[in-house]
Amino acid sequence: EAGVAQSPRYKIIEKRQSVAFWCNPISGHATLYWYQQILGQGPKLLIQFQNNGVVDDSQLPKDRFSAERLKGVDSTLKIQPAKLEDSAVYLCASSPGQQYQETQYFGPGTRLLVL
């Protein structure tokens, strides 16, 4: 079974530029998560999708971050414009359903550096 795929793996941009990350979850997984992991901290949930609907985006900075999940499969997370404090690893994860006791399966992450 293929795992969660993410691209790019690394990205370096200057502040005020825009950037987009892509995620392809495990086939058949209904729930998709985007996390931000700042160095020295645990992952923080940015947004959770159930199929193509948003379940939780309470911690997403909506003035600069946006995300979509087209047709309930792939997802894109965008930052526009980027700030220095957005430097982090962006993790995508998926799980089979919506139950909160389900295991999440993580991709390798995208490491973003904002200069």
- 99 contact partners, CB below 8 Å, separation of at least 6: none
Please give the backbone phi and psi of residue 77, each rounded to the nearest 5 degrees, phi first.
-115, 130
**CA 112, CA 88: separation in Å to the nearest integer?**
5
Q: Which stretch binds another protein (CB under 8 A): 14-22, 43-51, 63-71, 72-80?
A: 43-51
Q: Does residue 106 interact with another protein by CB under 8 A?
A: yes
Q: Which stretch binds another protein (CB under 8 A): 12-20, 64-72, 73-81, 95-103?
A: 95-103
Q: Residues 64 to 93: which contact another protein by CB under 8 A?
A: 91, 93
- Judged by beta carbon, residue 27 or residue 100, the one nearer another protein is 100
Q: Which of 43, 49, 69, 77 binds another protein (CB under 8 A)?
A: 43
Residues paired with residue 67 on neighbouring β-strands, in sequence order: 77
Are the C-beta atoms of residues 94 and 33 closer than 8 Å to each other?
yes
Residue 71, Cβ neighbours under 10 Å: how many?
7
Residues found near another protein in the complex (CB under 8 A): 4, 40-45, 48, 55-56, 91, 93, 100-101, 103-109
